[in-house]
A and B are shown apart, each in its own frame.
Chain A
Amino acid sequence: MRDVAVIGIGMNRWGELWEKSHRQIWTEAALEAIDDAGVDHVDAMFVGCMSGGLFMGQEHLGAMLADQLGMGPIPGTRVESACASGGLAFRQAYLSVASGMHDIVLASGLEKMTDVDGGAATYALSTAADQEYECFHGITFPGLYAMMARAHMAKYGTTEEQLAAVAVKNHENGSKNPLAQFPMKVTAEQVMNSVLVADPLRILHCSPITDGAAAGILVPLDMAKKMSDKPLVKVAASAQASDSIALHDREEITWIGSTAKAAEDAYKQAGCTPKEISFCEVHDCFTIAEIMVTEALGFFDRGQGGKAAESGETALGGTIPINPSGGLKSKGHPVGATGVAQIRELVMQLRGECGERQVKDAVRGMSQNMGGTGASTAVHILERV
């Protein structure tokens, strides 16, 4: 396997982009990555998209988007793993370069979620859960994470204040990200008084519905050294793991096993420990998710993620900054694009390009992107060379 570097990144402002089609949103991000890398072509492309069919009535995105890029005959592959589609698309791009199959590969993610109404969007997202044995009974995605939250609170004493601290911190970080969908700051009081969606989760515990795309260019590290004058960022680990799709089939409702397994593999590949990670972008689709994920990644002991968020350990300047970009909560969550946008944040941080939200002395960044209630996880570690 060859060492692989990320030499270009692209992303546009996320939000409710009613005036733009998915073709435009995606192509803008892809072209930005290509220009950032300074390449004139790509040999293959991957796009992570959870549900073009349900959100836009459009499948067959691999070929469609390869054509939009003006690079017609190249292999265009769409990757799907619910909300982890982007992370997996990046991983497929990484594998195709590392294996020697291709030299210059575009990894990208896309979701256009506001062409349908809220009910249809909720339904599309719910297909990431077990339709016949979870959704049949009237459960929603906020509902599934709410059940995880209640179990975590009962088992470990996690509080509503601790859940709120995650939202407050991520909006604080997002206020420093010019591309964030919801860059406003929120207070713990606002979070805890916002409307209940599924007890104990409220609307300000939830990530939003978003249109957006993100992209990156991967090449062999040896080639990157000759072609890029920017600080070099290499992929030190790419790991993926699976778990049962239904929450009720898990060994433990309060533990995200796929994330723990992918992280274990990633630490082994990179030859590092959780303490040697400078910062981490995690999949905070709901505030409880960030708490549980920071435990599964080994940053905190089981049950201690809430306390860590409340005490400021995960803030910018804390012992392990989590979601300096603002996370899904503030930056937005166009599901298929999220995993690639996490990679973009890693590259920017490692290049030292993040301005106000820059993590000091960032040398090694981690991203964690998961599908459903944690049935799939992609974990990546990127390092400054």
Chain B
Amino acid sequence: MIGSSRYWREVPQRYRYEAAKCTKCGKIFFPPRLVCNGCRSREFETVTLAQEGVLETFTVIRVAPTGFGDETPYAVGIIKLDDGVRITSQVVDCDVEKLNIGDRLRLEFRKVQEDGESGVICYGYKFVPAN
């Protein structure tokens, strides 16, 4: 589970979806990096992630890790956002048996983990059907 200092440090990504865009080649990194793995440039500008995308693949977790046991079965997928960034996230507010690759999804701000060992309630992004 996540300690409070680590969680606080991650707030710009978890709450504000801040990514880094390479000013030389335009590639976007989430989370931000110090070196572009495309062109090795070290110059970036801060951008906000696109809020919609397409489900590229997913699974339904039946055996959950510690902290997620009450939520099974739940879907986790890899979503390709409209700005080209791929991220891993839960997909909620849907029937997990009816999810399909190619589904259009929208990012929402949600509670991700009920309670870490440090007592921190962790918020962040989850995805829901776009329509």
Q: Determine the chain B residues whose CB is within 8 A of the CB of A101 once the complex forms.
A: none
- Chain B residue at minimum C-beta to C-beta distance from A201: B59
CB distance from B29 to the nearest CB of A (A): 9
Residue contact B63 to A197, C-beta cutoff 8 Å: yes
Q: Tell me if B51 is interfacial: C-beta within 8 Å of chain A.
A: no
- Chain B residue at minimum C-beta to C-beta distance from A140: B65
Residue contact A126 to B65, C-beta cutoff 8 Å: yes
Q: Tell me if A109 is interfacial: C-beta within 8 Å of chain B.
A: no
Q: Determine the chain B residues whose CB is within 8 A of the CB of A147 once the complex forms.
A: 57-59, 76-78
- Chain B residue at minimum C-beta to C-beta distance from A151: B57
Q: Tell me if A232 is interfacial: C-beta within 8 Å of chain B.
A: no
Residue contact A154 to B122, C-beta cutoff 8 Å: no
Q: Tell me if A134 is interfacial: C-beta within 8 Å of chain B.
A: yes
Residue contact B124 to A136, C-beta cutoff 8 Å: yes
Q: Determine the chain B residues whose CB is within 8 A of the CB of A122 once the complex forms.
A: 65-66
A87 to B124, CA, bound (A): 37
Q: Determine the chain B residues whose CB is within 8 A of the CB of A143 once the complex forms.
A: 59, 61, 76
Chain B 59-87 per-residue mask, 1 if CB under 8 angstroms from chain A, else 0: 11111111110010010111000000011
Residue contact A134 to B57, C-beta cutoff 8 Å: no
Q: Which of A119, A195, A201 has the most CB of B within 10 A?
A: A119
Contact of B10 among A132, A142, A150, A201 (CB under 8 A): A132
Residue contact A138 to B10, C-beta cutoff 8 Å: no
Q: Tell me if A139 is interfacial: C-beta within 8 Å of chain B.
A: yes
A: interface residue count bin: 20 to 34
CB distance from B16 to the nearest CB of A (A): 15
Q: Tell me if A246 is interfacial: C-beta within 8 Å of chain B.
A: yes
Q: Tell me if A362 is interfacial: C-beta within 8 Å of chain B.
A: no
Which residues of chain A in 133-160 are interfacial with respect to chain B, using CB atoms and an 8 Å cutoff?
133-140, 142-143, 146-148, 150-151, 154
B: interface residue count bin: 20 to 34
Residue contact B87 to A136, C-beta cutoff 8 Å: no
A133 to B67, CA, bound (A): 16
Residue contact A150 to B101, C-beta cutoff 8 Å: yes
Residue contact B62 to A133, C-beta cutoff 8 Å: no
CB distance from A46 to the nearest CB of B (A): 30
- Given A136-B112, A136-B122, A147-B77, are A249 and B61 neighbors across the interface (CB < 8 Å)? no
A147 to B77, CA, bound (A): 7
CB distance from B27 to the nearest CB of A (A): 11
Q: Determine the chain A residues whose CB is within 8 A of the CB of B89 once the complex forms.
A: 137
Residue contact A249 to B58, C-beta cutoff 8 Å: no
Residue contact B64 to A140, C-beta cutoff 8 Å: yes
Q: Determine the chain A residues whose CB is within 8 A of the CB of B2 once the complex forms.
A: 136
Residue contact B57 to A148, C-beta cutoff 8 Å: yes
Q: Determine the chain B residues whose CB is within 8 A of the CB of A195 once the complex forms.
A: 62
27 pairs from A and B in contact (CB 8 Å cutoff): A126-B65, A133-B31, A137-B89, A137-B124, A138-B64, A138-B74, A138-B76, A138-B112, A139-B59, A139-B61, A139-B88, A140-B61, A140-B65, A142-B63, A143-B61, A147-B78, A148-B57, A150-B101, A151-B56, A151-B101, A196-B60, A198-B59, A199-B60, A200-B59, A201-B59, A247-B88, A249-B86
Q: Which 3 A-B pairs have the closest CB atoms?
A: A146-B59, A151-B57, A248-B86
Chain B residues close to A by CB (< 8 Å): 2, 6, 10, 30-31, 56-68, 71, 74, 76-78, 86-90, 101, 112-113, 122, 124
